[in-house]
Amino acid sequence: MSLAENPGFAACPGCVALPAARGATSSDRAGETLHLSLPAIYCAGCIATVERGLLARDDVYAARVNLNRKQVEITHSPLTPPEALIELLTDLGIEARLLDRDALGDTRDVQGRALLLRIAIAGFAMMNVMLMSVAIWSGAGDATRTLFHWLSAAISLPAVLFAAQPFFRNAWTALRVGRLNMDVPISLALILASGMSLFETAAGGHEAYFDAALSLTFFLLCGRYLDHRCRSTARSAARELAALEVPRVIRETPQGRETVKLSEAQIGDHIVVLAGARAPVDGTVIDGQSTLDRAILTGESLPVAATSGSAVNAGELNLSGPLVLRATAVGADTSLRRMVTMIDAAESARNRYTALADRAAQVYAPVVHLLSFAAFAGWFFATGDARFSLNIAIATLIITCPCALGLAVPAVSTAAAGKLFRAGLLVKNGTALERIAETDVVVFDKTGTLTEGQLEVAALETLDDTAKSVALALAQNSTHPVAQALAIGLDKAAITPAPLTDIVEIAGKGLRANFGGQEVLLGSATFTQATPTEAPGAWLRIAQSAPVHLTLTASLRDGAVEVVETLRAKGTNIHLISGDTPAATQAVANALGITRFQGEQSPADKVAYLDALAAQGRKVLMVGDGLNDTGALASAYASVAPAAAADAARAASDVVLLGRSLSPLPDLIHTSRSAKRRILENFAIAAGYNAIVIPLAVAGFVTPLLAAIAMSSSSITVLLNAMRVTRGAKS
């Protein structure tokens, strides 16, 4: 049992836990962190190339790619210049750029607009060339046919050259370092289709494939744009948080106010946050009164008051009046930026499903290219038609792209983490969802988890006004938690404290004072000569009258009843363990309908309790908040800590509840299980797709155009299936 620590904690309960989080990507060795943008990566093969290439250097301690955000986080030696790592990735055929972490809030969709422009040009050119193709197919004469072919070439070649630049650029980047990627066969198909058509036109031939080249470009671009949009729709929680960061701040100086870049803000600066603006830094209010909206950061919808001395975290929305903050954390040290880093680490983490997809993607290049070459050789030997054989080989290369397989895991992980963050759950560990999906027992701590940390006075109506007044006056003169709880509860009841004299506190026993010439006592049963009881509270004795028990009860945390009922209805076994007395533990267990409970559990007892469940083959989800829960949280199969938990408890947990309510817990279990199902379904989709289309392509039933449509459709299907994890009722 533990009272919640750090009551002023607001928006980032998980941040302080980042260095100690299980599965963190940072190395034990001291190093600097570098973030690079990788705009051209798109599959598991790219991830493997980047991470293996970077980790091959002795001065790179850790490297983790986030496919959804197209970034890599590198922990490297302080002596390693960023340019060396960028040059390394360039040599591997991966375009890399320095990422401006001070422009995290920039959400302009430059890539999407560029793709739309290329789609529009390819589509317009395709329709015009098809109109001329209709005339050719209708039996136009030799001169007319040749003229239309040249007109088609004049439209098609510049359009393909411009619209297909993303494919050509990525293919060339890979080929010049001796590497193959999915854009190599696509580019080869476009070049061959256009080249053969131009040769036929110059030779006065009957066949030209300008419309096919444009159609292939158009549909491939459409597939890539839909892929881009699906990723944006299921965008990561880290990206949502990043969008809260403002690029510029208003700073107060002796010379007046000035607007500066966020990167120029320093600790101790006086930062002005206008009404309707978001706080750009962590700080303490030194002037002004307002209310703050923390909904996006904590999942709670009710605004909170902000007055002088209140803590404000970056990203919180100022609703009413202007505030002046003294900056306590800026840049990478703000709670907002550390939450972004933590979610990035969780989304990029590797589980056993990711490893399976990585291994499958690694064998793609040699197997598929050998298969394509075999298809070309076989058909050429059988027919002697080089053009027909080449089309089959190209279709085989395009249709077997491993994009769907590479997206199977990261798309689901990103969608699930984003959904849970919006529900008020910060997933710190990338393997947490996989483990939570397998749990079958939930073990709760009591105080600070199922109950609020603050005790409340019960049954005040049984006390007369004099007893209430004397009790309040005595309780106000002690810092003991029980006395403080009594003081708060009696003060809320509008009780006036009695005039006391000669107040003395006796450590471990209670308080003694004089009230109108009579001795009054407040404290333990022994101190007041009362009959002991296990019920929490204190005894009050006035003069020689019988001692009166002031009962304290622990109020249930918001959502506790509903969470326990929901979990029980789904067949989850629920246990309660607490360091509190057996009577107090049983009272909470009875109130919630929990039949398995243990009181007076030391930290070692809690670990032993979980170990005993594990020995029975049970996989435990531990929910706790205190220092005495840290060992249990660390030893459990998976763990959750509330926002107000002790720092060590948050560090040991896999997931942090950002708000005060427990209600998101069933959604955590439901989403984790749903994510596991979606991942397995995505593997089945990718495997089934290849099992069907590869034989069709090798057999000559698929043209390069149909291959492009099928390949794009498989990736989009996997992404849409991944987005299903964000739907459905809470379990």
Cα torsion 706, 712, 715, 718 to 10°: value is -70
Place of tokens 């929910």: 623
Question: Considering 269, 344, 358, 445, which one is annotated as catalytic?
Answer: 445
Which of 167, 164, 163, 160 minimizes the C-alpha distance to 209?
160
Q: Could you give the CA distance from residue 337 to residue 345 in angstroms, rounded to a whole number?
A: 12
526 and 534 in contact (C-beta within 8 Å)? no
CA distances, 222 to each of 70, 395, 649 (Å): 20, 18, 48
Place of tokens 């050509």: 168
Which of 325, 361, 232, 246 minimizes the C-alpha distance to 683?
361
Cα torsion 26, 669, 576, 430 to 10°: value is -10
Which of 237, 243, 241, 296 minimizes the C-alpha distance to 414?
237
Q: Report residue 639 as tokens.
A: 């763990």
Q: List the Cα angle 252/258/261 in 5-degree steps.
A: 110
Backbone angles phi, psi at 515, to 5 degrees: -130, 100
Backbone angles phi, psi at 377, to 5 degrees: -65, -40
- Residue 445 known to be catalytic: yes
One-letter amino acid of 67: L
Q: List the Cα angle 59/63/68 in 5-degree steps.
A: 155
CA distances, 323 to each of 243, 286, 308, 328 (Å): 21, 8, 9, 15
Catalytic residues: 445
